Amino acid sequence: MELSLSNISKTYKNGVKALDDVTIDISAGMFGLLGPNGAGKSTLMRTIATLQAPDSGIASLNGINILEDKIALRQTLGYLPQSFGVYPKMSAEDLLLYFARLKGISNKKEREEIVQTALEITNLWEVRKKNVKGYSGGMKQRFGIAQLLLNSPKLIIVDEPTAGLDPAERHRFLNVLREIGTNNIVIFSTHIVDDVKELCTDMAIMNGGKILSHHTPTEGVERLKGQMWTKNIQRDDLEEHEAKFNVISSNFNQDNSLNIRVHSEMQPDESFASSNPELEDVYFVTLHKDSEVVAA
Ligand SMILES: Nc1ncnc2c1ncn2[C@@H]1O[C@H](COP(=O)(O)OP(=O)(O)O)[C@@H](O)[C@H]1O
Ligand SMILES: [Mg+2]
C-alpha cells in the first residue's frame, strides 16, 4: 500500500492558500498528520478522499491516479470527516444494518455478520440497541469508525477524531484506531502531540498549507538529541529570554516560576541544563523554524 501525493496545491476563492505544493508518500500503518488549526489538514484529507479537487498536483494509490479514478478510490476508502451530520433516532445496530444495505451488501446474513464485527471492533456491541443520537462524543466517534469499516476499506482517513473527547474516551478511541491500523493506511489528523506519540508509526507536521517535516516519531526525537536546554526563570524575565534565546515553549511550575525550553545546537549559557527531547519539542521546533522563515 502506497499513497503518493505530488505537488498538490489548493487556493480557496477567498484567496487562502490552504495547500501549498504538498508532496509526500505514505505507506501502510498509522500515519499522524499533526498541525495547528488552519494548517490545511482537513483540506488535505478532503482532497485525498476525492471530495474536493486540488488546483494542481497528482495523487495516486498503488499507482492508480485517484483524482481521475474516483470510483476506484472510493471503493477502498473509509473517511470520517471532522464533523458529521445529525443522526436519526435509530439504534446503532439498525443504523449500521441500514448503511450496510446502502453499500450493496444484499445478503442478510452477511450484513448481520459485518455489522457485528464492526460493533465489536469499536467496542459498541454492548450498547448496540441504544440510539446513536444519545451516544456520548466518544461513542459517536467510534460509531463513525464502525460505519466506515462496513466496506472493509484499505485507506482510512480520520479527521481530528479526538478533538473534544475526555481523556477516557480519547483513550478508548485511540485503542480502536490501533486495532484497525495494521494492514491498512490510516491517516489521522490531530493538533494533539500525545495522540501521535501514543499511536503513530509515521508522521508529518503541517502548517500554512505546507508539509514541514516527515519522519517517524522516534526519528524526530533523535534528531533533537543534545539540542534541548531547560531553565527555570521568573515570569517577568520571559521576554528577555525570548529575545536572547530560541525559546520554543514555556510551562508554569507549581511555585509559579516558568520552565522554559530552548532549542540550540550548543549550550546557550551555563545557566541552562541539557534536557532529553520530547515529541512536543519536535513539534514546536518545527513550527518555530517555519515562522522564522516567514518572518525573514
Ligand atoms: N471552504 C473554505 N473556503 C475558504 N477558506 C477555507 C475553506 N476551508 C478552509 N479554509 C481555510 O483554509 C485554511 C486551512 O483550513 P483547514 O484545511 O480546515 O485546516 P485545518 O483542518 O488544519 O484546521 C484555513 O485558513 C481555513 O480558514
Ligand atoms: Mg480541520
Encode pLDDT of 40-60 as tens digits.
999 999 999 999 999 999 999
How many domains would you assign to the chain? 2
> Please, which residues have CB within 8 angstroms of residue 5's CB and are 6 or more apart in sequence?
22, 23, 24, 25, 26, 48, 57, 58, 59
Are 144 and 283 within one domain?
no
pLDDT band at 101 (very low <50, low <70, confident <90, very high): very high
Are 273 and 163 within one domain?
no
Are 205 and 235 within one domain?
no
Are 138 and 255 within one domain?
no
C-alpha grid cell, residue 21: 505544493
Are 174 and 91 within one domain?
yes
Ligand closest to the CA atom of residue 14: 1
CA of 3 to the centre of ligand 2 (A): 20
CA of 5 to the centre of ligand 2 (A): 19
The pLDDT of residue 66 is 93
Which is the closest atom of ligand 1 to the Cα of 35?
Answer: 22
Are 153 and 192 within one domain?
yes
Distance CA 222, CA 202 (A): 14
Range of the domain at 282: 222-295
Are 247 and 148 within one domain?
no
Q: 221 by DSSP, 3-state: which?
A: helix
Ligand closest to the CA atom of residue 81: 2
Ligand closest to the CA atom of residue 205: 1
CATH number of the domain that 26 lies in?
3.40.50.300
CA of 208 to the centre of ligand 1 (A): 10
Distance CA 155, CA 214 (A): 19
Are 86 and 120 within one domain?
yes
Q: Which of 195, 214, 233 is the last residue of a domain?
A: 214
Closest CA to ligand 1's atom 14: 40
Are 166 and 125 within one domain?
yes
Are 26 and 106 within one domain?
yes
Q: Which of 191, 214, 237 is the last residue of a domain?
A: 214
Q: Which of 214, 231, 249 is the last residue of a domain?
A: 214
Pocket of ligand 1 (CB under 6 A): 12, 14, 16, 18, 35, 37-43
Range 122-146 average pLDDT: 93
CA of 160 to the centre of ligand 2 (A): 7
Are 17 and 145 within one domain?
yes
* Residue range 145-196, pLDDT digits in tens: 999 999 889 999 999 999 888 899 899 999 999 888 777 899 999 999 999 9
